[in-house]
Amino acid sequence: MNGLVHGAVYGGVIASVLLTTIAFGIWFERKFAGRMQSRLGPTIVGPFGLLQSVADVVKLLQKEDIVPRDADRPLFDLAPVLAALFSLGVAAVVPFSPTIIASDLDVGVLYILAVGGLMVIPTFMAGWASNNKFALIGGMRAIAQSVSYGVPLVLAVLVPVILSGTLSVSGIVTYQANHHWFLTWPVFIGVPAFAIYYMAMLAESNRIPFDIPEAESELVAGVTTEYTGAKFTLFYMAEYVHTLVGSAVGAALFLGGWDGPFAPGLHWMVLKTLVLFTVVYWVRWSLLRLRSDQLMVLCWKWLTPIGVLLVLGAAAWVQFVPGGFQ
C-alpha cells in the first residue's frame, strides 16, 4: 500500500514537473536558437524572458477555436488530448534516481516502446479528421516515418536489454551503475546503438532533420494545419514532452541514468537528460531537412541492417566474451 501511494504521488509529480520543464525548455530552445543566430531570443516577458512560454500559452488560449467544415469533430478534438497523454505516459517508467520512479515495471522497456508507439494514433486521427489535404498527406508521411523508424528503434533498445538481461528500466540502470555505461563499454556496440536510438528518437518526435511530416514549404503545417488555440498548444507541448522523455529514456538506457560520481542520482539523470535535450535543438538549428526518400533509405537500408548486426553483436558479446555478462 505504501509503495502504491509512493508511486502514485511520483506519477503526478513527475508529470507536473515535466510540463513545467517544458515551459522553460521552450524558453531555453528559443534563447539557444537566438544565440546561434546572433540574436538575443526572448527578453521582454519576465527576467531574461523566462516567462515567455507562459505568455505564449495565454496568447494561444485567447485565439479562436476553429473547426474546419466537415471535420470529424470527435476525432478532431480527441487527437491533441491523446497526443499529450501518450507523450506524458512514457515518463511513468523512467527512473530519475534509485527511488524517484513512478512505476518500476518489470517490463518497463516494452511499456516505453508500446506507449511511445501509440503516438502514431493521434497523428493519424488529426490528419484524417481535419478534412484538409495537407493535414492528410502530412499525417500519412508522419505515420510512414514513425512506423519505419520504429524498427531500428526496437533493435537499438534491444541492445541494452540483451547486455543487462532485464526489461526493467531501473534494472538496466542498476546494471550500468554496477558495471559500465553501455555507451562506454562495449563501445563498438554501445555507440552505434545509441546513435541509432538517438536518430530514431528524433524521427519519432518529428525533429529536424526528420521533420518532413510538417515541411512548411510543401505541407503548410502538416497535421496541425487546421489546429488553432488550445488544441494546437496541446500538440505543440506533446511534441516537446515527447522529445524530453525520449532524451530521458536515452539517458537511462545508454548513459547510465542516475549513475555518476560526487552528486546525488537525480542531478546526474537531469543533467544527462538536459544534455541530450539540448543536442536535439543544437541539431535542429544546425541541419537542414532531409527529403522523404532520403529519410526512408536511411531507415531501411542503413539503420535497420546495422541494428540487426548490433543485436547479434550484443548477443555474441554476452555469450562469448568472458565477463561480458556478470
Partner 1 sequence: MIASYIPMFLIIAVGILLATVFFLGSTFLGPKQAKGAEHNTPYESGSESSGGRHVRLSVKFYLTAILFVVFDIEAVFLYPWGIKFRSFGWLGLVEMLGFLGVLVIGLVYCWKKGALEWET
Using omega within 30 degrees of 0 as the cis cutoff, is the peptide bond preceding 47 cis? no
The C-alpha atoms of residue 94 and residue 80 are separated, in whole angstroms, by 23
User: What residues contact 151, with CB distance under 8 A and at least 6 apart?
Assistant: 299, 300, 303, 304, 307
| Of 43-51, 192-200, 251-259, 300-308: span binding partner 1 (CB under 8 A) | 300-308
Q: Report residue 208: phi and psi, to 5°.
A: -55, 140
By CB under 8 A, the count of residues binding partner 1 is 84
Instruction: By CB under 8 A, name the one of 69, 261, 322, 323 that touches partner 1.
Output: 69
Examine residue 16 and tell whether it contacts partner 1 (CB under 8 A): yes
Examine residue 73 and tell whether it contacts partner 1 (CB under 8 A): no
Binding to partner 1, residues 87-106 (CB under 8 A): 88-89, 91-92, 102-105
Q: How far is the CB of 210 from partner 1 (least distance, A)?
A: 14
| Of 36-44, 108-116, 194-202, 250-258: span binding partner 1 (CB under 8 A) | 108-116
Examine residue 85 and tell whether it contacts partner 1 (CB under 8 A): yes
| Of 32-40, 45-53, 84-92, 199-207: span binding partner 1 (CB under 8 A) | 84-92
| CB-count exposure of residue 64 (10 Å: 0-12, 13-18, 19+) | exposed
Instruction: By CB under 8 A, name the one of 26, 207, 304, 310 that touches partner 1.
Output: 304
Q: Which three cell numbers stand for residue 33?
A: 536558437
Q: How far is the CB of 112 from partner 1 (least distance, A)?
A: 12
Examine residue 118 and tell whether it contacts partner 1 (CB under 8 A): no
Examine residue 305 and tell whether it contacts partner 1 (CB under 8 A): yes
Q: How far is the CB of 279 from partner 1 (least distance, A)?
A: 26
Binding to partner 1, residues 245-284 (CB under 8 A): none
Instruction: By CB under 8 A, name the one of 100, 167, 195, 274 that touches partner 1.
Output: 167
The separation between CA 155 and the C-alpha centre of its own chain, rounded to angstroms, equals 17
| Beta carbons of 324 and 190 less than 8 angstroms apart | no
Nearest by Cα to 95 from 39, 45, 169: 169
| Of 42-50, 65-73, 192-200, 271-279: span binding partner 1 (CB under 8 A) | 65-73
Instruction: By CB under 8 A, name the one of 10, 210, 254, 277 that touches partner 1.
Output: 10
| Beta carbons of 61 and 230 less than 8 angstroms apart | yes
The C-alpha atoms of residue 326 and residue 214 are separated, in whole angstroms, by 46
Instruction: By CB under 8 A, name the one of 35, 40, 48, 58 that touches partner 1.
Output: 58
Q: How far is the CB of 43 from partner 1 (least distance, A)?
A: 25
Examine residue 28 and tell whether it contacts partner 1 (CB under 8 A): no
Q: How far is the CB of 308 from partner 1 (least distance, A)?
A: 6
Cα four-point dihedral sign 99, 101, 105, 110:
negative
End-to-end CA distance of the chain: 34
Q: How far is the CB of 285 from partner 1 (least distance, A)?
A: 26
The C-alpha atoms of residue 254 and residue 163 are separated, in whole angstroms, by 11
For 165, the enclosing helix (H) or strand (E) is none
Q: How far is the CB of 234 from partner 1 (least distance, A)?
A: 6
Q: Which three cell numbers stand for residue 230?
A: 488550445
| Beta carbons of 268 and 19 less than 8 angstroms apart | no
For the chain, helix (H) and strand (E) counts, in that order, are 13, 0
Binding to partner 1, residues 197-226 (CB under 8 A): 220, 225-226
Binding to partner 1, residues 123-162 (CB under 8 A): 130-134, 136-137, 140, 143-144, 147-148, 150-151, 154-155, 158, 161-162
